[in-house]
Structure 1
């Protein structure tokens, strides 16, 4: 099945009901898009968990090396890694039982989409979570 994002109404519902976001590839540099987007989502009331093996803390939160290092449920896995890494992150998303996989603007992978579909995980690709959130706040 070709990549198909949820409808705008479904995206609104995803953002209204899922507040714990693991951000894969979150940079500790404030000038990077991943930092700015995650900071905005944090200020909007979302619980941001930085997934970055080279950082200790980002946005005042202890960083973890992988999704498997996160205690508790993960609602959304928001990915800021190049498209060729999406299948690997999709597999890990399925392993930890996250509800939603969200690949940022410019990122998509048919292979990752297929993995997510096999595991019943909602997937959003090539969309900015901050822009989508701004539509509905």
Structure 2
């Protein structure tokens, strides 16, 4: 897949099919982008599970934080990644190790690793990189 450009239908399909999102790199600090995006996603009716080992057991925006993806005890539809590009491959490995895998991995603005994307896509997981759902949802009028 060409990760320089995404079809609007591809992005909309992922966002419409998603109900539960694991947000990797969630921050409790209101000035952090992950906090604002999490707040936006919650306001749009998504279930968001914050993932951050340093915040394990604490709440971010009223949602209990888990340390790692493997600690989530419910099915997730999408993993939204707020980690630097160099960590995306490891997040993909964590996704692929899950018993029930999400349908999509979405990495935020500035986060891209084409090799990691190929690995996920080879396992049937859709990948979006260098995009923000909080920008795409309004742009696509979802």
TM class, shorter-length: over 0.9
Q: Partner residue of 2:91?
A: 89
Q: Distance in 1 between matches of 2:2 and 2:18?
A: 25
Q: Partner residue of 1:40?
A: 40
Q: Distance in 2 between matches of 1:118 and 1:22?
A: 21
Unpaired runs of 5+ residues, structure 2, are none
TM-score, L = length of structure 1 = 0.94
Q: How many residues were matched structurally?
A: 137
1:102 maps to 2:113: no
Note the 1:1-137 alignment, pairs <5 A. Answer: 3=3, 6-55=6-55, 56-96=58-98, 97-135=101-139, 136-137=141-142
TM-score, L = length of structure 2 = 0.91
Q: Distance in 1 between matches of 2:3 and 2:120?
A: 11
Change (3 A) 1:5 1:50: farther
Backbone CA RMSD of aligned residues: 1.4
Farther off after superposition, 4-13 or 29-38: 4-13
List structure 1 segments (4+ residues) > 3 angstroms apart after TM superposition: 1-6
How far residue 6 of structure 1 moved from its aligned partner, in angstroms, is 4.3
Unpaired runs of 5+ residues, structure 1, are none
